Structure 1
Amino acid sequence: MTTPVPSLSRRLFLGGSLSAILLGGLAACSDKKVESSESPTGPSPASNPAFPATVEHKYGTTTIKAAPQRIVVVGFTEQDALLALGVAPIATTTATWAGDDVEYNIYPWAKDKLGDAKPTVLDSTEGLQYDQIKALKPDLIIGTNAGLSKDDYTELSKIAPTIANSGTYDSDWYEPWDTQTEMIGEAVGKVPEAKQLIADLNQRFADAQADHPKFQGVTAAFVQAPYTDGSVIAWPAGLSSDFLTDLGFVIPKSLDKFVDEQVAQAEIPAEDTKVLNDAKVLVWGNEGAEDEADIRADKVLSQLDAMKAGRVVFTGDTVTSAIYFGSILSIPYVLDALIPKLDEVVPA
């Protein structure tokens, strides 16, 4: 049974749109109290096999002269890659609207990697907290999933060497897990370890496909619990549905006509939900038992082919959050939880 966590799934990663709307236009610099400034005592700081190190990103190239000891994360998921590499940040970042009462902003799938470290949690609800970041005396700032503008990057770089997103994906707010892991590995001098982590997770997907050949070519859709007006969010092929396609499933192309390019998600009105019949399997990103009961009882959704045939998986809040987190640590957590459930509902 998964441990309930705040509804990051609905409030933080709803297509990346909410974060972009609330943070993208804000650059406020307030002086809110920092929760903790203790240096981490868990995983040791990065070792020094390859410094100076250089990392290319959207705004150029950043050079890190020595193994960083005080790393501040200003995005939402970078801490997972650091912890997977055995490096604890001295600060993580969240926002009050994101469900930010997870201790140290470290979610269940990463908690055992934290050790005794107690990172400060920065609140970016009103924008990046430059004064607080500076007070932490970082020697590296990582913002691969922070939606950093050029001005943000320039200001942060005045404090410490800063890594922005790669610029190779169509969103500044979300970096693919493998790209993010590799970039962070470069920054902390752990390139071989990062590449091994990436290879291991890719192998995990390959093994899952080999073990479950019946997944191949089956249409599936990852859908978000409906709004009060009965509309449904579904995810076209891309970051939020990669966990399905990497297992061999196929996302119906019929969803594409409902995609809002600004948020990269399909917003399906109640009267058009029959398009979900193009998916043989539905994976619902729900928040709990009440949410699931509402969906099952809905007079429209309950009549979808997959619902009537029992070809449906409800993820629950923690796994939904892990899907949207899309990190080197959260994805294995998703696979552990969902592969057995998918195996049960996909016909032989």
Structure 2
Amino acid sequence: MPDTRPLVRLAALGAALAVTAALLTGCGGAATASAENATYSTEPSDTFPVTVAHQFGETTIAAEPQRVVVVGLTEQDILLELGTPPVATTEWYGEQPFAVWPWATDLLNGAEPTVLQATDGFEFEKIASLKPDLIVGTNANITSDDYTKLSAIAPTVTSVTGADRYFSAWQDQTRQIAKAMGRTAEGEKLITGVEDSYAEAAAAHPEFAGRSASFSQGGPYEGNIYVYPDGLNTDFLTDLGFIMTPNLEKYAAQPGQQALISGENMSLIDADVIVFATENAESLPDLLSFGTTSSLKAVTEGRAVYTDGELAGAIYFLTPLSQKYVLEQLVPRLEKAVAGQSPQSVDG
């Protein structure tokens, strides 16, 4: 995985590209699709126009969007599960075809989204050339200036007020996108389905309840390992009954960011279970040789989980769709870890 993997959530993706006023004015602010999107497999259940409140105010969408551009990192999953494939996605990491991971590819329904890049800011000119009638950025570091430029191209929906950048709650994101697409009931069904599945898995595994857990990226980066404090992308463990290792937020550079743990401080993350988001077998030596990692009790006693690349990606995405994959793939590994039988292998 490239250096811009989940660490991209630690800071803004970069300064916005310069866009001329003429370009934005020429877009008229609300491009209209000339024909229905043939890749859609569902119909809206709400009546348009709809209005979506977000961190920059409100956006009114006059008719069912047909050309949706995703400028955030993970929103394509939600659109795909709603049966409304986007015309463009944004590459985050993994370089998957169309920036769509394997757990979601079956839902493309023939769509071949254009893939945008965001390492140097939003590609405003390219976005405008796609003639979107909706821009979705609920999991993006959109500034007020970015929003002004994007909303001049097409109606733009961002995250809710108060959301942490790149860590907006998946429930909020699902509701934002479902409402914009005129499918609020369908969005609620996605949320309920995931929450019910977690509740069922927790009930089936009472041995998880009250156990301490840590969630870490899979290897050191620039002298630290990045660990997720409680509440920051950790629902996939707490919803199963685990209790996250406390006080790690003290080691974050800023609120709402991962904790930076140095090699000599790895004991801070020792727990009943540690989930390392490793991505391939080759990453294990670097992880285990980092500081005191190899001597952690969770590591020596077979209570550490090492994920493969696809499972790591699904955990990072934290969408309704990816979480189904997480439950299917991670729960059996957690069973082994709690029992002290987890292999030191990404194959689980």
TM-score, structure 1 normalization: 0.87
2: CA distance, partners of 1:149 / 1:227: 30
Which residue identity does 1:66 align to in structure 2? A
Taking only the aligned residue pairs, the percentage that are identical comes to: 40
* Number of equivalent positions: 327
1:293 deviation in Å? 3.9
Kindly provide the CA deviation profile for residues 48-95 of structure 1, in whole angstroms up to 9, marking residues without a partner as x.
632111100001111111111111111111111111111011111126
Higher normalized contact order (CA 8 Å, seq sep 6+, divided by chain length):
1
Change (3 A) 1:256 1:172: closer
- The answer to whether 1:51 aligns with 2:41 is no
- The answer to whether 1:120 aligns with 2:139 is no
Partners of 1:46 and 1:188 within 8 A in 2: no
Larger mean CA deviation between 180-189 and 118-127 belongs to 118-127
Give 5+ residue unaligned stretches, structure 1: 1-6, 32-37
Partners of 2:263 and 2:290 within 8 A in 1: no
Give the aligned CA root-mean-square deviation in angstroms: 2.4
Change (3 A) 1:219 1:126: same
1:103 to 92, 97, 106: 97
Partners of 1:259 and 1:267 within 8 A in 2: yes
Which residue identity does 1:22 align to in structure 2? L
Partners of 2:13 and 2:119 within 8 A in 1: yes
1:262 deviation in Å? 5.2
2: CA distance, partners of 1:76 / 1:90: 15
In the other structure, the counterpart of 2:17 is: 27
Change (3 A) 1:244 1:323: same
1: CA distance, partners of 2:146 / 2:291: 47
Give 5+ residue unaligned stretches, structure 2: 24-34, 341-348
Change (3 A) 1:172 1:228: closer
After the TM superposition, which residues 216-231 of structure 1 pair with which residues of structure 2 at under 5 Å, given as runs? 216-227=209-220, 231=224
TM-score, structure 2 normalization: 0.87
Query: Helix, strand or coil: the match of 1:62?
Result: strand
- The answer to whether 1:342 aligns with 2:334 is yes
1:273 deviation in Å? 1.4
- The answer to whether 1:306 aligns with 2:298 is yes
Change (3 A) 1:43 1:235: same
Change (3 A) 1:15 1:261: farther
2: CA distance, partners of 1:60 / 1:150: 11
1: CA distance, partners of 2:227 / 2:135: 34
Partners of 2:72 and 2:140 within 8 A in 1: yes
Change (3 A) 1:155 1:140: same
In the other structure, the counterpart of 2:345 is: none
1: CA distance, partners of 2:339 / 2:286: 25
Query: Helix, strand or coil: the match of 2:244?
Result: coil
1: CA distance, partners of 2:325 / 2:145: 36
